[in-house]
């Protein structure tokens, strides 16, 4: 009798855990928060985008996925009584830009970098192919409001753009400027050292608020801090590689402890070292 009790209790706890995890999956965390003026931030679980409300309609950005986009479209219609006129993709990765058809079906025009269009078609991304593309810079105007789109070089992908809302003094930048966090894993689909150059270009832009694609809002100081982290990481890894050190020796020697209070430090900083080491070795071999 007494032996059975704990088992039943443990089972109860396990089943309870499974149910609440399933419920959490059924009900994604979705939220709209005002950033500044008519610029808002849209959250879908761990992904974020922004949208600008104007008298002529709404400029939306990454749709995130079809369900999220359907929710956002309804919320925008209910809260603001406006139609989505433009959708701007930050880069080609499906976890940010799936579901563009939800906006396009109502006539929204989809905008992205020209290389993003190529990849969206080539990799058959689950979204709408952009109708308007650009190479370096583009300014979109709607209802007397403006968003400036800029390509700043290769970083987390080869087709990443940033979106500057000058009146709201805000920059929307996805996946290549984590705020108070180390970089994602081992730099998949990424370009080093070009990434650091594009961060320096962001620092020269005129804005105060940084709206990232993941995590909390930041400021320009977070861009500088992350550029310094990336420089520190790659300088240290390069020095080890030049001395002919192995990956394991490099991992043991590189000291990133001054960033230990940043998000994902324990899990991802060893992978950051690994990714940087592999890319630096490839560059050294002239590839
Ligand atoms: Zn990405």
Encoded tokens for 121: 């078609």
Cα of 63 vs centre of ligand 1, distance in Å, is 13
Task: Mark residue 168 as left, alpha or beta (left: phi above 0; alpha: psi -120 to 50; beta: remaining).
Answer: alpha
Cα of 128 vs centre of ligand 1, distance in Å, is 17
Cα of 180 vs centre of ligand 1, distance in Å, is 18
**What are the residues whose beta carbon lies below 5 Å from ligand 1 (ion)?**
93, 175
In which residue ranges of the chain is pLDDT below 70? Answer: 1-26, 286-287
User: Whole-angstrom Cα distance, residue 194 to residue 230?
Assistant: 11
Give the per-residue pLDDT at 282: 84
- Name the nearest CA neighbour of 32 among 64, 9, 57: 64
Give the per-residue pLDDT at 85: 98
pLDDT in tens, 5-41: 444 444 444 444 444 555 555 689 999 999 999 999 9
User: Whole-angstrom Cα distance, residue 77 to residue 84?
Assistant: 9
User: Whole-angstrom Cα distance, residue 203 to residue 13?
Assistant: 50
At residue 25, φ and ψ (nearest 5 deg) are -65, -35
Cα of 245 vs centre of ligand 1, distance in Å, is 31
Cα of 168 vs centre of ligand 1, distance in Å, is 25
Cα of 239 vs centre of ligand 1, distance in Å, is 28
Residue carrying the six token digits 């962001």: 202
Give the per-residue pLDDT at 264: 97
Give the per-residue pLDDT at 25: 57
Q: Is the dihedral of CA 247, 253, 254, 259 positive or negative?
A: positive
Cα of 62 vs centre of ligand 1, distance in Å, is 11
Cα of 3 vs centre of ligand 1, distance in Å, is 51
Cα of 136 vs centre of ligand 1, distance in Å, is 19
Give the per-residue pLDDT at 285: 78
């Amino acid at each position: 009798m007494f032996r059975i009790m704990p088992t039943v209790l443990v089972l109860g706890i396990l089943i309870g855990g499974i149910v609440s995890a399933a419920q959490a999956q059924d009900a994604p965390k979705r939220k709209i928060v005002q950033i500044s003026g008519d610029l808002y931030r849209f959250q879908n679980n761990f992904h974020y985008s922004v949208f600008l409300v104007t008298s002529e309609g709404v400029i939306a950005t990454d749709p995130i996925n079809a369900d999220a986009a359907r929710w956002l479209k309804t919320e925008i219609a209910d809260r603001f009584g406006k139609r989505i006129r433009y959708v701007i993709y930050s880069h080609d990765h499906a976890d940010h830009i799936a579901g563009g058809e939800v906006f396009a079906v109502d006539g929204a025009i989809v905008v992205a970098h020209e290389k993003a269009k190529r990849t969206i078609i080539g990799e058959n991304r689950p979204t709408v192919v952009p109708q308007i593309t650009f190479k370096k810079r583009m300014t979109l105007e709607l209802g007397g409001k403006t968003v400036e789109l800029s390509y700043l070089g290769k970083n987390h992908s080869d087709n990443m753009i940033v979106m500057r809302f000058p009146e709201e003094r805000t920059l929307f930048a996805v996946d290549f400027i984590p705020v108070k966090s180390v970089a994602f894993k081992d730099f998949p689909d990424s370009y080093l050292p070009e990434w650091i150059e594009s961060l320096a270009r962001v620092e020269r832009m005129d804005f105060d608020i940084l709206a990232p694609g993941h995590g909390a809002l930041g400021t320009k100081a977070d861009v500088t801090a992350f550029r310094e982290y990336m420089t520190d990481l790659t300088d240290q890894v390069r020095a080890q590689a030049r001395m002919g050190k192995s990956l394991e020796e490099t991992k043991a020697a590189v000291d990133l402890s001054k960033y230990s209070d940043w998000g994902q430090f324990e899990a991802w900083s060893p992978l950051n070292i690994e990714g940087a080491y592999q890319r630096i070795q490839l560059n050294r071999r002239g590839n």
